[in-house]
Amino acid sequence: MTPLRRVTAALSAIALILGLSAVSAAPASAAKKPTLTVFELPAQVRLVPGESIQITLSTNRTTGYSWTADGGCCTANDKPIAKISKGVYKAPENTNGMVGVPGTTTWTVTAKRVGTTDVQIITRPPGAENTMSDEVVGTLKLIVMKPEK
């Protein structure tokens, strides 16, 4: 196990003990970039407007299932609480010749305004024409707070 993986594993273990799910912190020098990454759902995070979090989950495109993120809505006047990026798939780096090895998909959730919302990761089977076949994989509860002064 590489030193970086050991640190990530230790942070994940501490986060689990503290009830944060699998969340890891990025270096403080990563200005304007997501400061947290969630690897397991369900989870809950608190952000202030302008901050971001990444959701990174194991996904396998070879199954034909599609993965999407939904949610981020809305305040009482229908303004979005968060913006969710389109998922970015990363293929596995070393498959050792194995077929069907999963990669990861990462979504960035950016807090826009004060409020509480759920961001759901949803999977749809191949060939599904409607959302009746959709399955919620997990939910991130996002609480956007007023920034401290």
Structure tokens given for 44: 């809950």
Mean pLDDT of 33-39: 79
Average pLDDT across the chain, whole number: 79
Q: How high is the pLDDT of residue 41? A: 94
User: Which residues, in sequence order, are bridge partners of residue 108?
Assistant: 54
Q: How high is the pLDDT of residue 95? A: 80
With the CA atoms of 74, 78, 81 and 87 taken in that order, what torsion angle do they form, in degrees rounded to the nearest 10? 80
In one-letter notation, the amino acid at residue 49 is P
Per-residue confidence band for 72, with pLDDT thresholds at 50, 70 and 90: confident
Q: How high is the pLDDT of residue 58? A: 92
- 26-144: which CATH topology? Immunoglobulin-like (2.60.40)
Alpha helices in the chain (DSSP H): 3-17
- pLDDT, one tens digit per residue, over 74-101 is 877 889 999 999 999 998 888 887 888 8
Per-residue confidence band for 32, with pLDDT thresholds at 50, 70 and 90: low
Q: How high is the pLDDT of residue 99? A: 80
Q: How high is the pLDDT of residue 84? A: 95
- Structural domain boundaries of the chain? 26-144
The distance from CA 140 to its chain's CA centroid, rounded to whole angstroms, is 7
Q: Confirm if 69 and 122 have CB atoms less than 8 A apart.
A: yes
Residue with the larger pLDDT of the pair 15 and 146: 146
Per-residue confidence band for 106, with pLDDT thresholds at 50, 70 and 90: very high
